[in-house]
Copies of this chain bind each other. A is one copy, B any other.
Amino acid sequence: MRHDGRLANQLRPIKVQRYFTTAAPGSVLISAGKTTLLCTASIDTAVPPWKAHLPPDQLTGWLTAEYCMLPGSTAPRKRREREKVDGRSTEIQRLIGRSLRAALDFKALGPRTITIDCDVLEADGGTRTLAITGGFIALADALATIAGDVDLSRVVKHSIAAVSVGVSNEVPVLDLDYVEDSAAEVDMNVVMTGGGLFIEVQGTAEGTPFSQDFLDSQLALAKEGIAQLTRIQRDSLGENWPMDKNSSN
């Protein structure tokens, strides 16, 4: 039994509120238990500077992500990242960017830069994976606004979701909250497509090295979680669910 009564393979309650703000075309308030993020997706018709000198036929699009914890998202208050980005945020936003880029065909997207901003309003464990799961929803809503200009069935190759797994009281459990995460011996974040393939596997032994068997059992648990999250994404997005436009997925 987990400290909050969940089963080992049970996610925290997920709430999704689309169009939470209106300035960005994708704006999703997503929470898993007390972990809450605002994920916005913006589309800019400028290609990133480091692609600007390419010949027109290579002027494909790009997606970049930024991750930031608001100071009031933790107790005690977290110092605001204003003069330099801390290493953890850098590592996390690179993971979010890589993961969501795997969803897209940038040639089909054309010369556009998408930015996914993931701001943590409250942090109770699992912020980086929730950022990916919620970021995909914001991305889908933003892409829907340019459906007249691009072929979404080609732009979106996969749906993407992410979840953490770990060991609590010697039992592998899904979607750790802060209490569980702090005590876990192994911290594993798994990013997968809705179709059940891996995009990124990051497993770190916090204290005790782990075996292949252990890794396999963790990944099996992650797959269960990803399947649930994919259903939640699909239900939330409704007609904006991009996979329905893409028969190859």
Contact = CB atoms under 8 A, between A and B. Distances in A.
A179 to B, nearest CB: 14
A82 interface: yes
B211 A200 contact: no
Interface in A67-115: 68, 70-77, 80-85, 87-88, 90-91, 93-94, 98, 102, 115
Given A34-B22, A72-B21, A219-B212, A84 B87 contact: no
A198 B204 CA distance: 8
Contact of A80 (B117, B122, B123): B117
A57 to B, nearest CB: 19
A128 to B, nearest CB: 13
B209 A197 contact: yes
A38 B70 contact: yes
A224 interface: no
Contact of A204 (B71, B200, B212, B216): B200
Contacts of A41: 72
A158 interface: yes
A201 B202 contact: yes
Main secondary structure of the interface of A (DSSP, over half): mixed
A164 interface: no
Contact of A202 (B73, B192, B202): B202
Nearest to A116: B72
Interface string A113-141: 00101010111000000000000000000
B197 A75 contact: no
Contacts of A197: 205, 209-211
Contacts of A73: 21, 23
Interface in A190-232: 192-193, 195, 197-205, 207, 209-212, 215-216, 219
Contacts of A195: 209
A44 interface: yes
A98 B201 contact: no
Given A42-B75, A44-B77, A98-B204, 15 more contacts: A21-B72, A23-B75, A27-B72, A38-B70, A41-B72, A44-B76, A82-B84, A84-B84, A87-B91, A91-B91, A193-B209, A197-B209, A200-B202, A201-B201, A215-B219
- A-B interface, 10 closest residue pairs, ranked by CB to CB distance from nearest: A40-B72, A197-B209, A42-B77, A21-B122, A24-B72, A201-B203, A90-B90, A87-B90, A23-B75, A71-B117
